[in-house]
Every structure is written in C-alpha cells, then in structure tokens.
Amino acid sequence: MSSRITTQWRRTLTGFVMMLLAMLGTGVSYADNADHDRARQAVEAGDVLPLRTILDRVEREYPGQVMEVELDREKGEWVYEIKLLRKGGALMKLKIHARDGTILGFKEKHDKTPRQGGSR
C-alpha cells in the first residue's frame, strides 16, 4: 500500500513541477482572474487586439525572448507593455497601443557586464 501512495504522490508532484516549469518557460507573467477577465472582455469588445497578434508583430520587428507582458489602462487607452530580452543581453521595454498595435515608445537597456574573452 505504501508503494501505491508513493507512486500517486510522485505523479502529483511530477504534474505540479511540469506545470510550474511550463509557466516559467513562457516568460509571460500571469495576472489574477479579475485582470484576465477584464482583458478577455476588452478583446471580445474589439477594444484590444489579441495578445498573439501583438506578439507576432513584435517578433517580426523586435526579435527576442518575451520576458513579461502587461495590459494596462493609461489615459483611458489600453496599452500592452512588453519586456524583451534581445540578442547580446539588451533588455527592451515596448509600449504598444492595444487597439491597433501602434508602437507608442520603447526603452532599451544594454547589459554592461564586462565580458571575458580570448586568452591573456
């Protein structure tokens, strides 16, 4: 009986770890249910483009790994804020008008960590 419990526990733990890794691997932060519902309603109402549409555009123009996505209201307008890790270690933050996908602005911060290379 104890081996059966151990097997069930192992499966449960494995499932939990897999779910956690999947969430971490996306690089997208998850909001609470109220925020999720608010965003879904905005998409359904046509006030906001779907995140997939925005990310497709961002990937074409600003290649990199998406680290975080937020959907906020600023001055009465929906705005996506997307943080990207770009090649070479640069961190970029984009502000995008959520209704039409227009880039409202961006900031890029370069990694200033000294690199070791070659022989001395």
Supply the pLDDT for residue 60: 93
- 84 and 43 in a common domain: yes
The answer to whether 91 and 107 have CB atoms below 8 angstroms apart is no
- Domain housing 54: 31-109
More confident residue, 66 or 25: 66
| pLDDT for the residue numbered 28 | 46
Residue 3: its pLDDT value, please?
52
Give the pLDDT score at 88: 86
Stated pTM of the model: 0.63
In this structure, the answer to whether residues 52 and 77 fall within a common structural domain is yes
Other beta carbons within 10 Å of 58: 21
In a domain, residue 115? The reply is no
pLDDT of residue 25: 46
